[in-house]
Amino acid sequence: LPTLAVVGRPNVGKSTLVNRIIGRRLAVVEDTPGVTRDRVSYPAEWAGTDFMLMDTGGWEAKVQGLDLSVAQQAEVAIDMADAILFVVDATVGATASDEKVVRLLRKSGKPVVLAANKVDGPQGELEAASLWNLGLGEPYPVSALHGRGTGDLLDAAVAALPTEMEQVAVDPEAPRRIALVGRPNVGKSSLLNQLAGERRVVVDETAGTTRDPVDERVEIGGRAWTLVDTAGIRRRVHMTKGADFYASLRTGAAIERAEVALVLLDASVPLTDQDTRVISQVVEAGRAMVLVFNKWDLVGEDERFLLERSIEQDLVQLPWALRINLSARTGWHTNRLVPAIDLALGSWDQRISTGRLNSFLGELVAEHPHPVRSGKQPKILFATQASTRPPRFVIFTSGFLDPTYRRFIERRLREAFGFEGSPLQISVRVRE
């Protein structure tokens, strides 16, 4: 799980905030500087995201003996965390030791969410706003004690956590693995029947056990593929309570076992939240993806143009998505599936040589330098593609990159090298 570290000077309210977030009173928090409990990480959850919450509050007592400064403690925490919740006491404002931590945070390049704590009224709002000049983005005014504002703060913190994209292990000898996912009734089993037809072989991965066979070896477009978890599609489970939850667990498991996910959507009705969630599940899992808009036989000739435009609107946040229109019922355009899957997997497998990558970035930066922020301009020193499946890039810089600039790099990288149908990840490492 990703780790969110709560960092800040003694007595700014770190432990109160941690207790507030995990919803328990695990320890006595006294209103005396330096009096807190042992350092621990707690499992926490917000808005469907699980993470570990690391409380550095308890370090104070311990590290006093070791004579570690607040900045040194923060350095350790920053090192260990994926994102940082930096707490400042709004009633005091930013102190010299806060400024030191800010420098470390900027240097780390890790995502930071700024909490302006002890904001209990309008005066506090003003004090909180003055923390904009720390250069860490928007200060979230909160009262850890009363709970005020912590929802917005947690929304921001959870959004800042990286979605984990680990390299997917692929057997180069085996057929490529496809998951067919989508909310109920979009036409998964219909498409499965179209694709698999009669030439279907059930692959029992756990021969000799009583477990259900879950995968099928199928021939599509004259080639062998493995469709994962087709048992989940064929077996109709009717549930009322918690159906959504179990469906999304099952979908998640299928995606995990696949290299590419075909996300089925019903073109004849508007996208639903459940559709969007399935798409996010694939993106966050770092799998290649093809969006399959089914049931086009229900779309009248005169509606097509408008429908196309509205689908483009829906997917504006996902410009790299590959999409095809087809009808599982009539078989129309189902021959477009394999080329789309090949393209998505090709992107997912693609490796850009370090030489090409750096000459591309060199030209990009020369043409569009990073904006100067408070007199500083981070330099891009070097980049490399750390892995494929999905493609992950590491960029070494001399300072924290603006999130907008990072997105700009991703956009240009995609324009230059394709990567259609594959998510990709860009990590930034700040070097001295």
CA distance 225 to 230: 13
Cα Rg of the chain, angstroms: 25
- Considering only 77-85, 209-217, 324-332, 384-392, which stretch makes contact with ligand GDP by CB under 6 A? 324-332
Going by DSSP bridges, is the β-strand pair 223-228/215-220 parallel, antiparallel, or unpaired? antiparallel
For the chain, how many residues are written?
Answer: 432
Q: Among the candidate windows 143-151, 200-208, 240-248, 292-300, which touches ligand GDP by CB under 6 A?
A: 292-300
Q: Say whether residue 248 binds ligand GDP (CB under 6 A).
A: no
Please, which residues have CB within 8 angstroms of residue 205's CB and are 6 or more apart in sequence? 213, 214, 215
Q: How far is the CB of 266 from ligand GDP (least distance, A)?
A: 8
User: Minimum CB separation from ligand GDP for residue 388, in Å?
Assistant: 31
81/328 with CB nearer ligand GDP: 328
Q: Is 184 a known ligand-binding residue? A: yes
CA–CA dist 268, 249 (Å, integer) = 26
Stretch 170-189 residues interacting with ligand GDP (CB under 6 A) = 182, 184-189
b/e map 267-296, b = 16+ CB within 10 Å: beeebeebbeebbebbbebbbbbbbbbbbb
Cα–Cα distance for residue pair 29/430, rounded to 1 Å: 35
For residue 295, say whether it is annotated as part of any ligand binding site: yes
CA distance 329 to 297: 8
For residue 362, the 8-state DSSP code is H
Token digits of residue 309: 């435009």
Residue with smaller CB distance to ligand GDP, 190 or 398: 190
Shortest reach from residue 250's CB to ligand GDP, in Å = 12
- φ, ψ at 194 (rounded to 5°): -60, -50
Helices (H) and strands (E) in the chain, counts: 14, 16
Segment near ligand GDP (CB under 6 A); pick from 99-107, 141-149, 308-316, 325-333: 325-333
If one asks whether residue 334 binds ligand GDP (CB under 6 A), the answer comes out as no
Contact characters 133-172, ligand GDP, x per CB under 6 A: ----------------------------------------
Query: CA-CA distance, 379 to 29, in Å (whole number)?
Result: 43
Q: Is 295 in the site for ligand GDP (CB under 6 A)?
A: yes
Is 189 annotated to bind a ligand? Reply is yes
Tell me if 178 is assigned to a ligand binding site: no
Half-sphere exposure of 274 (CA within 13 A, CB side): 18
Q: Which stretch binds ligand GDP (CB under 6 A): 36-44, 118-126, 305-313, 321-329?
A: 321-329
Site string for ligand GDP, 298-317 (x = CB under 6 A): x-------------------
CA dist 158 → 78, 152, 408 (Å): 16, 10, 22
Of the candidates 15, 49, 230, 294, which one interacts with ligand GDP according to CB under 6 A?
294
Which spans of this chain sit near ligand GDP (rule: CB under 6 A)?
A: 182, 184-190, 233, 294-295, 297-298, 327-329
Give the residue ranges of the annotated binding site for GTP. Answer: 8-15, 55-59, 117-120, 182-189, 229-233, 294-297
